[in-house]
Amino acid sequence: MSRIDENLHRILKDHGLTEYEIKTYLKLIFDGPATPYEISESVKIPYARVYGTLEGLEKRKWIRARPGRPVIYESNPPRSVAELEVEQKQSEMEAFTNLMRKDLQAIYERREVVKHISLWVIHGGDKIADKQNELIATAKTRAYLQLATIIPQDVEDLRAPIKAARERGVAVKIVSFLNPRFVDQKSLSALSEEAEVGVIQEPSEESPRPMNVCSVDGRDSIVTYLWNLEMPSEGGSRIAFRLSDEEYAGVMERYFEYYWLKARRI
């Protein structure tokens, strides 16, 4: 084998061709069109393997078949083959780049990032109301409240901050429930005078958990739990958690929007 032949063989092998495919393609380049039998005899490929070899080259569009009996194969022009391969490699590289830069990089960054989330634990009805009012006061575009527990005092606590928020152009929406024993219906009606209120008919009064959520602008939220189920109006019957985390607040907002679509306006 000459140095030129060796160089051709090495380049084609590096490009992904098998030994049989290299021999077949070079045979058709140097000698012109040939039948499968002629190729098999000329380059010493077992006849049982020659059709698979030709099929692989034809699929890559390096060669083409002339219909007839017997079928004759010829090489496509090397220039057009090179252009096709360049296009294929560019497409593969774009797919590879997108995979690495977008999909895998996003996974890598999520794994590497250590979040520092601000979390406050709030005890007592008055303190919870104060922190909730502070949060609503920071709202710039929207404030969502999901209330599974409402007592008359909640109306008094929420009136002023809701009114102030609406005067600033903030969209204030409240979702609550009809059945739960922890929702005072008169208080709920009173809140509808201050904000958009939607209610959901639950099949059982025990369906919603006794938990309230206040979320603003998809960035900050307060979650309040009623832990003293026997005396929900007692000042110490609730405990709240304030989380300054956009991902968590975003999840809370998606839950709210799901309920809002189901809710009947009052």
Query: How far are the Cα atoms of 22, 81, 130, 258 from residue 86, in angstroms, in the given order?
Result: 19, 9, 66, 49
pLDDT in tens, 180-203: 667 888 888 888 888 999 988 765
Class (C level, CATH) for 3-76: mainly alpha
**CATH no. of 118-265:** 3.30.870.10
Record the pTM. 0.54
pLDDT band at 228 (very low <50, low <70, confident <90, very high): low
Q: Is the pLDDT reported for residue 173 higher than 70?
A: yes
Q: Assess whether the region 3-76 and the region 118-265 belong to the same CATH fold.
A: no
- Per-domain residue ranges of the chain: 3-76, 118-265
Q: Is the pLDDT reported for residue 44 higher than 80?
A: yes
pLDDT at residue 1, as a whole number:
46
Q: Is the pLDDT reported for residue 107 higher than 60?
A: yes
